[in-house]
Structure 1
Amino acid sequence: MVPARLEGPIGIVGLGLIGGSLGLDLQARGMEVLALVHRQATAERARQRRLATHVSLDPAILRGCALVVLALPLDRLLAPEPALVQAIPAEAVVTDVGSVKAPVLECWTPLHPRFVAGHPMAGTAAAGVEAGQPGLFRGRPWVLTPDPPTDPAALDQVVSLAAAVEARCLVCPAAEHDRAVALISHLPVLVSAALLQGVDDAARRQGGGIPELVRALASSGFADTSRVGGGNPELGTLMARCNREALQDALAAYRRSLEQLERHLAQENWSALQEELRDCQQLRPGFL
């Protein structure tokens, strides 16, 4: 897919991790970025950090934009303010960055004729106006989930947006996206959270100096496996709420794998356990 010429100015609604990082990268490439935020303190800090060319609390800032990126949390994306919808030019391309696509398509397709559902797969544990950083999207997947009514020219513009920040553009159906991210993005959040809870609970039950000792001994392995479980709780809850069925299926598959490993341990079947771990060693590179 060859990117078309990216047209501006570009509007960004929300200057958290994704919106702020996008604003930094687009400005570095000479694009004019017009940003809409909903708190005065956010606007002031965003101006100080130069996350956009112009920052406003007034939706009217979007009226001259050729492309508008809705960098909003899922709850606000799925219940957009009427003033926001009305301020977006009818001819503008509109895309989002939400981590669940089917409900977003269902909501926004009737609201705007040039909507393209998207999901840049990039992130850190940081959130809010301080989180934006340059180069966040470089080499990362940017998934687009067009449906039959999607305007092909609008799709081309969002492909160009992804290319402008050096992301890898992927196109797939919304339902497949949601089931895939339930497995590789949403499931790890709950698994990581369960690890943190389980370790803390087990250490407390054992008592003595164990609760303090496990914290003193925790190193890079525990940090890696617990990172997403210790992330933004609002984001994690929204992902689960908006992708509940796919996430339940993913948890069931994980539970089956965990029970199999538990059986090997209980039966002292070390050869079977080693074979399972060898299979995992071979599986992992394909996911990275």
Structure 2
Amino acid sequence: MAVDSVHSSSWRNEPVGIVGLGLIGGSIALDLRRQGVQVQALVNRSETAERARQRGLADVVSTDAAVLSDCAVVVLALPLDRLLDPDPALVAAIPQQAVLTDVGSVKTPVLAVWQGLHQRFVASHPMAGTAQAGIEAGLEGLFVGRPWVATPTAQTDAIALACVQDLAGMLGARWLCCPAADHDRAVALISHLPVLVSAALLQTADRAAATADGGSSGTLSGLVRALASSGFADTTRVGGGNPMLGTLMARTNREALQQAVAAYQQALIAIEQQLSAGDWSALESDLRQAQSLRPQFVQADRSAG
């Protein structure tokens, strides 16, 4: 069934297809099922399908793309590399009248591929996550209060866009729209850069301590691990995530991420110069500015992942 021009919420009474049941796909599936929506999922392997059934992630789980044939909405919850090089059998199996959306964290290249493949494609990105991945990662309530960004173009079907907005709202997300290029620059700064910074901090703590110990696992190496507490855990959480996903984000958003890394590098150089010069007033001024900025980015009732 197609979502019609009068009732953009009519999809709720029809099957929803989800391609991929990792953290995002599995979490969408759980939330939709909890609210009575029929979920039909497509996965790659029979073992994954069996575990998905055991977890109750979907009403129907199959390795056959025909499972999508009667879906009014299809969500592509796939890694970026598979979004950018889609299986022709998958493309052919998606009903042309279905509303189609994705969950990829980079939008410009995804739009370039899918807008020409499906007339009702809506590029979107639910900004929620944990350090977990795979069939065990999905959980209820992941999207509550989190941004769900769409990047429509002049060619985007208005009813399809309204349908994806309705889906995001049903899951408790905060709906936003912006151009794809703006999205990619923004996530480079607030999502992709933190992954690399977090990873670099972990490596710095490990390597600097090992260097001080003379290259062996000695006193300082053990001490930094013993003393690492909530502050270090908060700062390095995203650096402990899926390395493949982090690499894909960097590869597909390279230009914007390079600019973000360069800007961050300049900020670190300024701090290094303040330390070298003993310019404590300048350092305190920068820290005060950071203190006042943080609530503008991170509030108690919302966060971006």
TM value normalised by structure 2: 0.93
CA distance in 2, matches of 1:160, 1:270: 51
- The amino acid that maps onto 1:53 is D
* Aligned position for 2:278: 268
CA distance in 1, matches of 2:31, 2:240: 27
Residue 5 in structure 1 maps to residue 15 in structure 2: no
| Residues 187-238 of structure 1: CA deviation (Å, up to 9, x unaligned) | 0001011111111110001004111111011001111111111110000000
SS at match of 1:104: helix
- The amino acid that maps onto 1:247 is L
| Residues 52-85 of structure 1: CA deviation (Å, up to 9, x unaligned) | 1110000000000000000000000111101100
Alignment counterpart, residue 202 of structure 2, candidates 172, 196, 200? 196
Alignment counterpart, residue 205 of structure 1, candidates 192, 205, 211? 211
CA distance in 2, matches of 1:282, 1:260: 19
* Aligned position for 1:218: 228
* Aligned position for 1:166: 172
Q: How many residues align structurally?
A: 286
Contact 1:6–1:161 (8 Å) recurs in 2? no
SS at match of 2:176: strand
CA distance in 1, matches of 2:255, 2:73: 32
CA distance in 2, matches of 1:280, 1:268: 19
| Residues 6-43 of structure 1: CA deviation (Å, up to 9, x unaligned) | 40210000000000000000011110000000011110
SS at match of 1:143: strand
Contact 2:18–2:40 (8 Å) recurs in 1? yes
Instruction: Give the Å deviation of 1:5.
Output: 1.3
Contact 1:6–1:160 (8 Å) recurs in 2? no
CA distance in 2, matches of 1:5, 1:38: 30
CA distance in 2, matches of 1:251, 1:262: 16
Residue 77 in structure 1 maps to residue 83 in structure 2: yes
CA distance in 2, matches of 1:231, 1:32: 31
Residue 123 in structure 1 maps to residue 129 in structure 2: yes
- The amino acid that maps onto 1:95 is T
* Aligned position for 1:245: 255
CA distance in 1, matches of 2:171, 2:290: 33
Contact 1:97–1:119 (8 Å) recurs in 2? yes
SS at match of 1:227: helix
RMSD over equivalenced CA pairs, Å: 0.9
Residue 254 in structure 1 maps to residue 264 in structure 2: yes
CA distance in 1, matches of 2:153, 2:59: 32
- The amino acid that maps onto 1:192 is S
CA distance in 2, matches of 1:173, 1:6: 27
CA distance in 1, matches of 2:227, 2:85: 45
Structure 2 residue runs without a partner (length 5+):
1-6, 299-305
Contact 2:8–2:160 (8 Å) recurs in 1? no
Contact 1:146–1:172 (8 Å) recurs in 2? yes
SS at match of 1:229: helix
SS at match of 2:145: coil
CA distance in 1, matches of 2:145, 2:268: 32
Hey, which bits of structure 1, 4+ residues long, moved more than 6 A? none
| Residues 118-158 of structure 1: CA deviation (Å, up to 9, x unaligned) | 00000100100000000000111000000111010110110
CA distance in 1, matches of 2:60, 2:26: 12
Alignment counterpart, residue 101 of structure 1, candidates 97, 101, 107? 107
CA distance in 2, matches of 1:191, 1:252: 12
* Aligned position for 1:19: 25
Structure 1 residue runs without a partner (length 5+):
none
CA distance in 1, matches of 2:10, 2:47: 31
Instruction: Give the Å deviation of 1:4.
Output: 3.6
